[in-house]
Amino acid sequence: MKKKFNLLFLLAMMGLVIVSRGAGAQEEVNIVPRPTMVRAEKGSFLLTPGTVINVTGGEEALPACRLFSDLLARSLGTPLEIRQGKKSLKKAINVSVDATLGEEAYTLVARERSVEIRGGSARGVFYAFQTLRQLLPAGVERGDPSASLEIRGVTIEDEPRFAYRGMMLDVARHFFPVEDVKTYIDMLALHKINRFHWHLTDDQGWRLEIKKYPLLTEVGSRRDETVIGKNTGQYDGIPHGGFYTQEEVKEIVQYAAERYITVIPEVELPGHAFAALASYPSLGCTGGPYKVATYWGVFNEVFCAGKEETFAFLEGVLDEVIALFPSEYVHIGGDECPKMRWKQCRACQARIKAEKLADEHELQSYFVKRIERFLNAKGRKLIGFDEILEGGISRTATVMSWRGTKGGLEAARLGNQAVMTPNSHAYFDYYQSKDTKNEPFAIGGFVPLEKVYELNPTEGLNEQEALLIQGAQANLWTEYISTISHVQYMVLPRMAALAEVAWTRQDQRSYDDFLKRAIVLTDRYTALGYNFARHLFN
């Protein structure tokens, strides 16, 4: 008996124990994020070049089918044939849309004769294919022709906990070309993340072409040099710049949409405006001169809240943003806006008096609410960081809580929707190891994988308040990150933990169980050529 126990223990340590079918089947199917229900079935389904993807209902699911077919073509040498039929076929992946399921819900049944996929919408079908992808060996990602394309017998029923599952990428501090942004979107798709928050403007660079205001990219997209390290006073002497043309933006938005990801643009206001002010100095309280910032921090130079010219400019910018991005949300930042210039500005003080505002905090609230009314009139919603609570907030604005969860909790208690992205759990520019000497340079802080996984976005709220939490997001600020390889290292595998926080029900989550599945997922990262942190192996 002792020998048998020791053998089982050894196999368990090697990750080779085959969990019994039935109740334990969840543990043998290594899917991230963890599905709602998994049950093992007899037999397995073998994918071959002759396998057909048969769409029996829901023409809108065809794009998701094509993406999966193209993935398999790397190993099979040819994409799978996609048909539209009226009934299920043997030796096929049969796909249908079933509106009785939730929009993002799906069921997946793999048996020897066929694979059956039902999605509540085309989006649900796409997520089913992402799960099916993880049931295949990692070699399919790199097109390994020797990879066994055998899918174990399994029934999966799945649906996300939250509608909003986001990742942010800051391209203002360091510019990333179109192909890098597409790679980032691919990483999100693998993890069933459905919001890409694109931070496009800041003090150190304006990255979005606005045709009405060409100086934003002619001047604002380029800084003369970049500070070395953490504001050491030394500079690299190398100009840094770049921006996305409107055609490139359309390309990226379409690329994301094909992967059922909504791109949320961020145009910072009223603070973090140096690049815009360098382009159009009259928009500031002093009139300049200004230059695109070459170091990091929070600057006193902000958009003038007293000038009508400021609002005319921002409305002109937002008109073009709205035309480019179909997202219901437009992110306006709203964070870290010093009030010094407003206190000294005659126009801003006149605005405070005319609008019967108490102080500069209420002036910021006026600024944000005015922009929100403009967005609402265009059929869009405003989302901003938790500073938009200061001075009063409208009932329709959505709060992104970054200074811990306090702002999100306050918003929900006021009746506002919120997204949790607390720097305590979800700032991926923070170190993920205390051994910082052996880590890539980072801004500071400490958010290891386990800390990300500990986030419960509704903790501290009652049942009704919890309904106002739309989901969770992680942010990657790039002051000290300039390559896609470094981006990948900072977000992987922490993105997997964030994905499970946002997808899987709280009562189904276990860090030890997640860690086992995340280790398996890293084989896929390797096959895809992603650079990832390896602390989870310790």
User: CA 94 to CA 83: how far, in whole Å?
Assistant: 10
Q: Which percentage of the chain shows pLDDT scores above 70? A: 95
Tell me if the bond preceding 289 is cis, omega within 30° of 0.
yes
Are the CB atoms for 431 and 381 separated by under 8 Å? Answer: no
Q: Which two tokens stand for residue 387?
A: 């500073």
- Asked about 272 being catalytic, the answer comes back as yes
Is 387 assigned a catalytic role? no
Q: What is the pLDDT of residue 125?
A: 98
Q: Nearest CA to 470 among 300, 262, 188, 317?
A: 262
The percentage of residues in the chain with a pLDDT greater than 90, rounded to a whole number, is 93
- In order of start, what are the domains of the chain with their CATH numbers? 18-158 (3.30.379.10), 164-537 (3.20.20.80)
The answer on pLDDT for 127 being more than 50 is yes
Integer CA distances (angstroms), 291 to 19, 216, 237, 242, 340, in order: 62, 12, 15, 16, 19
Residue from 119, 69, 74, 64 nearest 92 by CA: 69
84 forms beta bridges with 55
Q: Other CB atoms closer than 10 Å to residue 396's CB: what's the count?
A: 15
Nearest alpha carbon to residue 93 among 149, 55, 40, 137: 55
Average pLDDT over residues 269-273: 98
**CA 72 – CA 47 distance, rounded (Å):** 9
| Peptide bond preceding 33 in cis form (omega within 30 of 0) | yes
Question: Which residues are registered as beta bridge partners of 152?
Answer: 44
Residue 13's pLDDT band (boundaries 50, 70, 90)?
very low
CA–CA separation, 156 vs 537, rounded Å? 28
How is residue 54 written in tokens? 């048969």
Q: Which of 147-151, 460-464, 505-509, 524-528 has the lowest mean pLDDT?
A: 147-151
DSSP alpha helices (H): ranges in 14-158?
A: 25-28, 62-76, 122-135
Output 5 or 403, whichever has higher pLDDT.
403
Report the C-alpha gap between 382 and 384 in whole angstroms.
Answer: 7
Picking from 531, 501, 169, the residue whose alpha carbon sits closest to that of residue 331 is 169
pLDDT at 6 exceeding the cut of 60:
no
Give the pLDDT score at 284: 98
Mean pLDDT, residues 1-26: 37
Q: Is the pLDDT of residue 188 over 50?
A: yes
Cis peptide before 145 (omega within 30 of 0): no
pLDDT band at 147 (very low <50, low <70, confident <90, very high): confident
Q: CA separation (Å) from 86 to 56, 82, 83? A: 5, 13, 10
Catalytic choice (104, 202, 268, 387): 202
Q: Is 365 exposed, middle or buried (0-12, 13-18, 19+ CB in 10 A)?
A: buried
Angle between helices 246-257 and 308-324 (to 10 degrees): 50
Joined together, the tokens standing for residue 344 give 């000294």
Average pLDDT over residues 177-204: 98
Average pLDDT over residues 238-253: 98
3-state class (DSSP) for residue 171 = coil
User: Sign of the C-alpha dihedral, residues 324, 330, 336, 341?
Assistant: positive
Report how far residue 323's alpha carbon sits from residue 314's, in angstroms, rounded to the nearest whole number. Answer: 14
User: Is 336 annotated in the active site?
Assistant: yes
The pLDDT of 311-320, averaged and rounded, is 98
Q: Which pLDDT score, from 0 to 100, does residue 27 have?
A: 44
Which pLDDT belongs to residue 28?
A: 74
Taking the C-alpha atoms of residue 58 and residue 126, their distance in angstroms, rounded to an integer, is 12
Task: Specify the pTM.
Answer: 0.95
Is the confidence at residue 7, as pLDDT, over 70? Answer: no
The whole-number pLDDT of residue 241 equals: 98
Residue 148 has what pLDDT?
85
Q: What's the whole-number mean pLDDT along residues 338-358?
A: 98
Question: Per the residue annotation, which of 41, 112, 336, 465 is the catalytic one?
Answer: 336
**Predicted confidence (pLDDT) per residue in 466-522, tens digit:** 999 999 999 999 999 999 999 999 999 999 999 999 999 999 999 999 999 999 999
Reduced to 3 states (helix: H, G, I; strand: E, B; else coil), residue 420 is strand
Q: What is the mean pLDDT of the chain?
A: 94
Give CA–CA dist 88/95, Å, rounded.
8
Strand order in the sheet with 81-84: 37-46, 150-158, 106-110, 114-119, 92-97, 52-57, 81-84
